[in-house]
Structure formats: C-alpha cells, structure tokens
Amino acid sequence: MAVDFGLKGRVILVTGGGGGIGHAAALELARHGAAVAIVESRQDSGKAAVAAIEAAGGTACAFVADVCDEESVDAAIDGAESSLGPVYGVVTCAGLAKPAPAESMPVQDWEAVLSVNVTGTFLTTRLAARRMLPRGEGAMVLIGSTDSLGGQDGRANYAASKHAVVGLAKSLAYDWGPRGIRVNVVCPGPVDTPMLRSATAATGIVPEKLYLPRTPLGRLTRPVDQARAITYLLSDYASNVTGAVLPVDGGLSAGYLADLPVPATESERMLQS
C-alpha cells in the first residue's frame, strides 16, 4: 500500500522546479497528491516540468520569476494561489554555482551566487510566509549542500551561501515554529544534474573520481534521493521536525578523514571499470 504522507491536495511551491533536483522534487510531490507550482527563471524548463507532472496524472502550473526580484516572486505566489489554492509548502531549489579560486574570483560571481542562493531563498520564504502564517500551518524545505557543512577549494562563494542557508533556516524555524510553520534543510551531496556537470567541467574535475572514493554508499546521489527526503520533510511524517539539517549524500559528509579511501566498495569497482 502506498504511504500517505498527508500531502494530497496541498499546494507546494518549488523554486527552480525546472532544474535537476527541483524537477524531481516536483514530480515526487505530485506523485503523493500535492498540486505543484513551479517558480522558474527559465520558461522552457518550467513548462517541461509541468508537462511531466501532468503526463503522470498530477496537477501543476509554472510561473516565470527571478527569485532575486521580490515583485516577480510575489506575483508568482499570487498566481499559484489563484490557480491552485493556498500555498501549504515551499521548496527552494533555485540555485547557482560559479566556482573559481577565491583569490581571483570576480566580485560579480561572489555577488551573483550570494544573491540567488541566499537573498533569493530569503525573499521566497518570507513572501510565502506572509500568506502562510495567518493560516497557521505549513512546511518549508530549503536546499543547502554538503558545502553547507564544510568547504571545498574554488567554492568560497557557494559554500558561504550554503552555510548561510542553514543559518537562515534555523532562524526561521525558531521564528515561525510557534506559528505552525516548520523549516528544514536538505543538504545534497554531489547530484548528477546539469549544475554539477557544468560546475565541475569548469575545473576539469570528474565527479565520480573526486567523490566516490570518499562516499561510503559508493554512488553519486540521484535527484530522486533528494526528492524523497524533501517529500518526507514536507509531510506529516515529519510533523515534529523543524530546524533540522539532513545530509543526503551517501555518507560523504560523515567522514572527516576524507582522504582515506573507502575500501572494497562499488565506487572502487566503478573506477576500475
């Protein structure tokens, strides 16, 4: 029997819902009966996500907005509420990575990443909360990263922004919990999406070679792994969980002696083949 997560008929807003993780989250939430409002800067990928959800028998609509632009996000939430009903949940998947060595990173790249990942998340959550708080219920999942928990070379802007997402979520959890809104963070490890491929291509890194020897579960995580964690945290199964930070990374962030290879795993077999 399918698990009833209590999401049937609830309206969930997914920013970046046309991207790798956002698309998977939107599909998974719709599979559990949620009506999904995609908020995307790219009209084509927003439409594609809606088409995929509808083809699977779900309900969705898409709105073009830039999460850094308060007016466009406000209009998108208005549109979502007119089309689907009161927003119950929010997932903030809109994100940007622009890796470069800190000493030569253009200030524009620092600001662009902070703007989308931090200010965009702040604006989306508070604009939604203004509608949700008077109704006294709801849940939000903010997307961090394993770079919310530690740093990497070339990731000064991204890791700073993703640490900030955790601070933001914990503050919002404290602020809005007494008024019925839970706020949690999912921290994906390297997920096989266009963002990962373009970020690593810029530095000549092969994600499998870099990450798998340090990943106890021996594989890159998939968008659907993130989608399932997001669905759980939005659901009634997590009704007593707020302010939590959940790594979904195959164990990558668990080891602090990260240069020691994980012995005899699927990752070694993959690298040898």
**Under the rule (CB under 6 A), what is the footprint of ligand NAD?**
15-16, 18-22, 40-42, 45, 66-68, 93-96, 116, 120, 143, 145, 188, 190-191, 193-196
- Smallest gap, in angstroms, from Cβ of residue 172 to ligand NAD? 16
Name the residue type at position 241: V
Look at residues 121, 233, 122 and name the one whose alpha carbon lies nearest to residue 181. Answer: 233
Residue 269 Cβ vs ligand NAD, minimum distance, rounded to whole Å: 22
- Which is nearer to ligand NAD, 71 or 236 (by Cβ)? 71
Cβ partners under 8 Å of residue 112, min gap 6? 96, 98, 157
| Distance, CA of 16 to CA of 176 (rounded, Å) | 24
Render 22-57 in DSSP notation, one character per residue.
HHHHHHHHHHTT-EEEEEES-HHHHHHHHHHHHHTT
| Close Cβ partners of 199 (under 8 Å, ≥ 6 residues apart) | 97, 99
Catalytic site residue from 88, 158, 174, 232: 158
- 26-35 burial: b if 16+ Cβ within 10 Å, else e: bbbbbbbbbb
Between 59 and 119, whose beta carbon lies closer to ligand NAD? 119
Query: Is 87 within 8 Å of 138 (Cβ atoms)?
Result: yes
Shortest spacing between CB 122 and ligand NAD, in angstroms: 13
In the bound state, the residue with its beta carbon closest to ligand NAD is 19
Output the smallest distance, CB 185 to ligand NAD, in A: 11
- Give whichever of 179 and 232 is closer to ligand NAD, judged by the CB atom: 232
Q: How far is the CB of 192 from ligand NAD (least distance, A)?
A: 7
Residue 147 or 213: the one with the smaller Cβ distance to ligand NAD is 147
Q: Which is nearer to ligand NAD, 193 or 242 (CB)?
A: 193
Structure tokens at 3: 């698990």
Would residue 211 show up in a list of annotated catalytic residues for this protein? no
Active site members: 158
